[in-house]
Structure 1
């Protein structure tokens, strides 16, 4: 088993390298600009969180929300079983996610019908 040997400097350099690689692949920027961007992000993280013990989560919630959005985007209303097989999920889970996403969009678009209005807004 490999001993953990990462120092703070190596952590920031690894972060800078990953951000630079992502900028090249995702944004299509050149290597010099990508490296500068990676270094800038690493230094920002050092400024914001420097000196703190930091736990880095695995991003499960972000991955889940991406999956939920994919399910909702791909759902036609008649292909839930196909989506369940495609993503190796239960049919009940697909129905639950699609319903939850639909309700969230309705709530966002309708707003709160009973919210108090500011009198200054009315003329």
Structure 2
């Protein structure tokens, strides 16, 4: 299956080709042609597997945590809020929020939900 970039219905698949190609080029160091070939193959596979379905991509908390937030959490020792704020050029209040957000996600990963309710976003 080849994606027709002129087709309005193919916009998602065309974007997928572009993003996969850019990522492949960056991470794998392949030529533009090979990267586009990989992007096209991924788009074709997604169209074959999920074609005709309404797909929702969740924005889970774990995927929203930035590399910087994880670094801040890893550097946190329980009493260095101010030093972390200076180092990462954010407010102390922001450090508290980051620590709490990552801590909640770490707990959610280790502790099952007792009543199978979805976790509350904070």
Q: Same fold (TM over 0.5)?
A: yes
Contact residue 23 and residue 34 of structure 1 kept, 8 A: yes
Contact residue 82 and residue 92 of structure 2 kept, 8 A: no
Map of 1:26 onto structure 2: 27
- 5+ unaligned residues in a row in structure 2: which ranges? 1-5, 112-122
Alpha carbons of structure 1 residues 49 and 82: separation in structure 2 relative to 1, 3 Å: farther
- Give the one of 72, 96, 99 matched to 2:100: 96
How far apart, CA to CA, are the structure 2 residues paired with 1:95 and 1:76? 11
Alpha carbons of structure 1 residues 45 and 28: separation in structure 2 relative to 1, 3 Å: same
Map of 1:121 onto structure 2: none
Alpha carbons of structure 1 residues 100 and 42: separation in structure 2 relative to 1, 3 Å: same
How far apart, CA to CA, are the structure 1 residues paired with 2:34 and 2:19? 14
Alpha carbons of structure 1 residues 44 and 83: separation in structure 2 relative to 1, 3 Å: farther
Structure 2 SS opposite 1:51: coil
Aligned length: 102
1:83 Cα offset (Å): 3.0
Contact residue 72 and residue 99 of structure 2 kept, 8 A: no
Q: How does 1:9-88 map to 2 (within 5 A)?
A: 9-57=10-58, 59=59, 61=61, 62-64=63-65, 66=67, 68-84=69-85, 86=88, 87-88=90-91
Q: CA RMSD in A?
A: 3.5
Task: Name segments (4+ residues, structure 1) moved above 6 Å.
Answer: 101-105
